[in-house]
Structure 1
Amino acid sequence: MSGLGGQGVVTAAHILGVAAVKSGLKCTVNPFFGAEKRLAPTESYVRIAAEDIWERGEVLFPNIILIFHPHVITLGKCYTMPFFAGLQQGGKIIINADRPLDLREEELARLRGLDAEVYYVPATQVAVEAGGTALSTNIAILGALLAVEELVSQEAIRDAIAERFGGGKFVASGTTAVLDDVLKSKFDRLAQLIEKNMAVVAAAGGSVSQYHFGV
């Protein structure tokens, strides 16, 4: 997962990891970021498997890459360049954008060579329209992920959201904790927060479009 500070990349990784465990899978989550400030590059690595996972740290050869902001690609605001570095053959990329980005021909050629699947979803727009706040952009990205690759169920995501915002044992960084509190303050009850975010998951899943490479 690659995005900018303030987009909830770390939170999304934690929610996905908890959902994986609740689905009977094994999971490790490793966030990586520099100075804790808005719009600074932020990445988080999630490993999910049916068997025990012994590796930790950065995922060098991902199967799936989630891009939370177009600037990760257009302005190179990430720690890994190009943005699809290490993507495995047949891998998938989901980008938060309302239209295909202008990738360089060299990048398109390499993605074609990888037989990669590239998807776009207007995650921030979906978050605002279905959830009432751009802070749910990260949840929209997870909804798009479930539509492209059903790693976990929507019910598991619901339970993970409830645990994250319902006073679970997760220890957040300073910035992440503040964002959590801001999101919670927008809803009167935990149940309302959960339902709004699940509406975002569903809406995002129905808003995904696949990019078709030219010949």
Structure 2
Amino acid sequence: MNSIEKTFIRMSGLGGQGVVTAAHILGSAANKDGLESAVNPFFGAEKRLAPAESYVRISSEKIFEKGEILYPNIIMIFHSHVITLGKCYTMPFFDGIQEDGSILINADLPLAIADEDLERLAKLNAKIYYVPATTIAKQIAGSELSTNIAMLGALYGIRKLTTMEALQVAIQERFGGGKFVASGTTAVLDDAVKSKFAKISQMIEKNNELITAAGAALSEFSLLK
């Protein structure tokens, strides 16, 4: 992959869902494709179910910006409570979304989003996609801890920011002995994911299945009534 327009991704979820890990994998995959990336996690108290966000910038050109992404092209919602209970550092959850942007939501069924919010998104020509990422993670990997991999698979189905080969290698390196550790809690979660499988090769195989299944389960929500 030689060129790509500058893309800004905001990932919002809850502690324990692997939002930080997903951002690192995506940024690493971009680098493997010869692209520039900048990854910044943001979270408060390191505890399960506390709000967590990560920001990923990907471009063919040098990236000088760091920190929070205020105007994302893509927003990934890892848990429905980000929307339904406001467990998010950015309110409303789609704040700052650019025109023609995409929103990917992890939910089995469409959520009850206010009509005025849907109207605002329609005016921006934004698109909402749903994927049952946690359900797929439980079915294929046997654990909701693999929700982040399913979300990356769904993202690939929306927009191919990296090649599939680079994404798979980045996942393998992340769980196969990579040196990156964002925090102690993230390292513990990585170890928990690994413990679900007898061999790393088995985990990689399941992750590849997750990516394919999530892409196939992706559905677009119509903003028109």
TM-score by length of structure 2 reads 0.94
- The C-alpha deviation readout for 1:78-116, integer Å capped at 9, x for no partner, is 000000000000000000001111111110110111100
2:187 counterpart of 1:177: yes
After TM superposition, give the deviation of residue 133 of structure 1 in Å: 1.3
Cα deviations across residues 151-180 of structure 1 (Å, max 9, x unaligned)? 112211110011111112212301111100
2:35 alignment partner in structure 1: 25
Report the secondary structure of 1:206's partner residue. helix
Match of 2:172 among 149, 162, 177: 162
Determine the C-alpha separation between the residues in 1 that align with 2:140 and 2:163.
20
1:53 aligns with 2:63: yes
Which of these residues, 95, 103, 110, is aligned with residue 105 of structure 2?
Answer: 95
Counterpart of 2:92 in structure 1 is 82
TM-score between both structures, scaled by the size of structure 1: 0.98
Distance 1:32 1:134 in 2: 21
* Equivalent residue in structure 1 for 2:206, among 191, 196, 202: 196
3-state secondary structure, aligned to 2:109: coil
Q: Name the counterpart of 2:133.
A: 123
The reply to whether residue 16 of structure 1 matches residue 62 of structure 2 is no
Equivalent pairs, count: 215
**CA positional deviation for 1:214:** 2.2
Moved more, 130-139 or 117-126: 130-139
Deviating 4+ runs (over 6 angstroms): none
Question: RMSD over aligned Cα, in angstroms?
Answer: 0.8
Q: How many Å separate the matches in 1 of 2:103 and 2:224?
A: 17
What do residues 49-84 of structure 1 show as CA deviations (whole Å, max 9, x unaligned)? 001000000011000000000000000000000000
> Does residue 15 of structure 2 align to residue 2 of structure 1?
no
